[in-house]
């Protein structure tokens, strides 16, 4: 198991990509600190983690609130004794042309998709530094390395997350803290289903993301810093 006896925080762990990552980490031997805003869903995921033989700490958290983030990290650290991995997965999206983006939507995108990863990274950094190192994996989007219409606020937040990842990777080298980002394309999740009406084009599943995240979290990527891994469905095969 590539993550045996590691302790990982996964934000947005209550469903979708976050749930898939948490369960994959448990199968690889990690204990989990599960953070999200929906307690009932977190408890459901925690039960699955425990059925895999690993420990799970459930902490209802608003990652846009600095006090809540500090408390989440402190509680998780006290309960499990260390924090080896942080996966900044929580995010929100919205499909709207720039001319129709309300200021509150713009600010919500920046708060969840950019301020949240910043706060979690900031407050886990010192713990990892004292431990002699750690791993941070940010979950971005291909909208953070390419351009698409009608997702201006979302794209701006994810481009920001890509830049933030690059800076943290450089700052992390002296502290043995590795920081990288996984940028998926379209993924079938409840959040996407709520906001988008898709045609029959192929789409990724949440489980398609976890292999790259496990790789970056493991010693297999011990010399990988500041890299962008894009994951995108290639489309239907040629006939």
Active site members: 154
Long-range own/partner contacts, residues 51-60 (CB < 8 A, 24 or more apart) = 52/23, 52/26, 52/27, 53/26, 54/26, 54/29, 54/30, 55/31, 55/80, 56/22, 56/26, 56/31, 56/32, 57/31, 57/32, 57/33, 58/34, 59/33, 59/34, 59/35, 60/35, 60/36
Pairs from 127-133 (Cβ < 8 Å, separation ≥ 24): 127/73, 127/77, 127/82, 127/83, 128/83, 128/84, 128/175, 128/177, 129/175, 129/177, 131/82, 131/83, 131/84, 132/176, 133/175, 133/176, 133/177, 133/178
Q: 40 and 66 in contact (C-beta within 8 Å)?
A: no
Q: Is 44 exposed, middle or buried (0-12, 13-18, 19+ CB in 10 A)?
A: middle
Here the tokens at position 127 are 């713990």
- Rounded distance between C-alpha atoms, residue 159 and residue 137, angstroms: 15
Distance CA 26, CA 51 (A): 9
């Amino acid at each position: 198991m590539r993550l045996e006896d590691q302790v990982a925080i996964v934000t947005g762990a209550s469903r979708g990509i976050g749930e898939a990552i948490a369960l994959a980490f448990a199968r690889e031997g990690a204990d989990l600190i599960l953070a999200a805003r929906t307690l009932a869903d977190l408890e459901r995921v925690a039960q699955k983690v425990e059925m895999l033989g690993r420990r799970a700490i459930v902490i209802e958290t608003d990652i846009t609130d600095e006090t809540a983030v500090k408390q989440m990290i402190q509680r998780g650290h006290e309960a499990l004794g260390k924090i080896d991995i942080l996966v900044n997965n929580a995010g929100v999206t919205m499909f709207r042309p720039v001319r129709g983006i309300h200021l509150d939507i713009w600010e919500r995108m920046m708060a969840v998709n950019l301020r949240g990863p910043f706060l979690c990274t900031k407050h886990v950094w010192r713990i990892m530094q004292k431990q002699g190192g750690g791993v941070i994996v940010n979950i971005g989007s291909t909208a953070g390395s390419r351009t698409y219409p009608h997702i201006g606020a979302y794209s701006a937040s994810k481009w920001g997350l890509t830049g933030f990842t690059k800076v943290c990777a450089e700052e992390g080298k002296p502290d043995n803290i590795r920081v990288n980002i996984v940028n998926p394309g379209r993924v079938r999740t409840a959040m996407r289903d709520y906001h988008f009406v898709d045609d029959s084009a192929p789409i990724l599943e949440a489980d398609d993301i976890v292999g790259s995240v496990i790789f970056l979290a493991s010693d297999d990527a011990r010399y990988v810093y500041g890299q962008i891994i894009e994951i995108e469905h290639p489309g239907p095969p040629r006939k």
